[in-house]
Structure 1
């Protein structure tokens, strides 16, 4: 094996005919993010009003059948932590994909109306058809998200212009008004369930949601990372993209459909969560940099960490009262976003 230093901080590891290009600094930052996500996930498993801490977690890991903390950690906290990290990662990836697609750092599933489209259809199902199976919610959300995305793209005529973002913001406001109207005129008992879900609460998640969240995350990751090289070229502009042979229509469809799929899956599991898709990519660019693969990896890890931390703070800060993660995330997210913008004020 040979190691050769390249330009821009890269190193080339070559073993016979196989070569691997690495960036040590970015790998170090990603490693720290992985450690941070694992750390906050472990803290989430041992934190809460129930009597289950580190001893019960170790017992669960060594002998699940006889662990006294199984019902609290294994049945409640573990699925909740997995879903929080998966949905946060999906929202982070969705924001990164939409920002790359539109070449606009303000793009986000919420700003483009995709999240509100999914939320409107799911809220309508909760209120009008309260016995709708949980497994159908992602498909209903995807139908609403795809409908809004298609309408915005059709009216804008282009996915990479500011007009696309502005029209998406207009649709977002319109759909938010429709959701508020629907809640105002509906039965109060069903509305209360919808309002709790809308606030971004993970209090109602169940273990059977875990496969749903992981499937959506895995599908989105495959689509995003498989087209990361094309997305790097896309950012150079339409002329360069066509000249270098990148299939622009295929890339646009994938980078529009994958965020809709992930957003609808996340919304169906944890409700309307904001800020993750906007903050995670910007934070990843600041601390990691690099191309699309680095951006996607950073957005994945930062988004997952943000939602796990928000959910843990929400359920432990005022226990036994639980504050929805969406509210905590807004309280955390706004100052963080303002700080990031302030630090990069000369570059915006």
Structure 2
């Protein structure tokens, strides 16, 4: 990319370069995300008037009518936290997918193949079936612990081996954890089974502001770590020998990126269940818009992931009203043909 298309900010010995094309693409995606979020706030089984939405953001006048108060309650208690959580989960999965594909140098790598999703799901399913009296706040915390344990187990078993071995060990662990989880499900009651299967499909109906706060904290923390690792990741993409000769601490950077990606996936699964295809598709779509910079790819994947999950959740709520489908089902229906199309478009690269 030529210098005319780049903007460099300098402060003393520090400088930060922005490439204009990826920056404009990211801005356009962000505006699209905001537009979809506003549409999602207005639509659903109960339509909300636009003036009520303005009042909710304190941009319009409030009145004491029962209709507006009911609409404000729908927005604040149900629709707004669900929409925020959908965007956060999509961003977490998109960023994690970009990191996993970069670490394994495999465009078909997905965060779920490392056992993280199954580890988090097994921990939460165990809580639902065996300790249902525990407060809801414990579920995401235990889910994150289970996902981290699974991801770190894969990392320790693979050690310094090739990325192919890492993926294969992750797949084997995923199968094992899934088998254990279905053994638990086969011995559960019908009511518990229905609750668990709905959650496993990827559901945002139980979104609360507490889960939004937890997801926001994890996303911001992990995103900061990943962005700080981007310069080293760019150098490492040029080759292991060159990265080592330039003083890049490859093991440390790879471990930080891996742990951050695992935590992002575990958190998403813990608060919203399984969301298929997002971590796989979002990085490929981001590569169509961004340059080869790890930072551009990471940010683009996060915004596209948020847009994918939010769009799927809006369709799940509005397209089949008054019936609400799990968001994960809509993602699977839309994601499978999209992935096939992407693979066909980039068939020479796989």
SS at match of 1:227: helix
Quick one: which of 44, 51, 54 aligns to 2:40?
44
SS at match of 2:17: strand
CA distance, structure 2, for counterparts of residue 38 and residue 8 of structure 1: 31
CA distance, structure 2, for counterparts of residue 328 and residue 165 of structure 1: 27
CA distance, structure 2, for counterparts of residue 151 and residue 255 of structure 1: 16
Query: Which runs of structure 2 are paired with 1:312-331 in the superposition (5 Å)?
Result: 312-331=314-333
Query: Which runs of structure 2 are paired with 1:212-251 in the superposition (5 Å)?
Result: 212-251=214-253
SS at match of 1:111: helix
Query: Which runs of structure 2 are paired with 1:244-263 in the superposition (5 Å)?
Result: 244-263=246-265
- Compute the TM-score of the two structures, normalised by the length of structure 1: 0.92
CA distance, structure 2, for counterparts of residue 12 and residue 200 of structure 1: 41
- Structure 2, unaligned runs of 5 or more: none
- Whether the aligned pair in 2 keeps the contact of 1:200 and 1:324 (CA below 8 Å) is yes
Q: Deviations over 1:218-255 (max 9, x none)?
A: 11111111111111122233322221111122212211
Q: Corresponding residue for 1:21?
A: 17
Q: Corresponding residue for 2:49?
A: 53
- Compute the TM-score of the two structures, normalised by the length of structure 2: 0.92
Q: CA deviation at 1:99?
A: 1.3
Query: Which runs of structure 2 are paired with 1:64-103 in the superposition (5 Å)?
Result: 66=63, 67-68=68-69, 69-103=71-105
Q: Corresponding residue for 1:107?
A: 109
Quick one: which of 25, 31, 50 aligns to 2:27?
31
CA distance, structure 2, for counterparts of residue 111 and residue 19 of structure 1: 38
Q: Corresponding residue for 2:268?
A: 266
- Whether the aligned pair in 1 keeps the contact of 2:199 and 2:273 (CA below 8 Å) is yes
Change (3 A) 1:339 1:251: same
- Whether the aligned pair in 2 keeps the contact of 1:94 and 1:260 (CA below 8 Å) is yes
- Whether the aligned pair in 1 keeps the contact of 2:148 and 2:266 (CA below 8 Å) is no
Q: Corresponding residue for 2:156?
A: 154
Q: CA deviation at 1:347?
A: 2.5
- Whether the aligned pair in 2 keeps the contact of 1:158 and 1:164 (CA below 8 Å) is no
Change (3 A) 1:42 1:241: same
* CA RMSD, 1 decimal: 2.0
Q: CA deviation at 1:14?
A: 5.8
CA distance, structure 1, for counterparts of residue 249 and residue 297 of structure 2: 21
Q: CA deviation at 1:15?
A: 6.6
- Structure 1, unaligned runs of 5 or more: 1-5
Q: Deviations over 1:162-199 (max 9, x none)?
A: 11111211211222222222111112222221111111
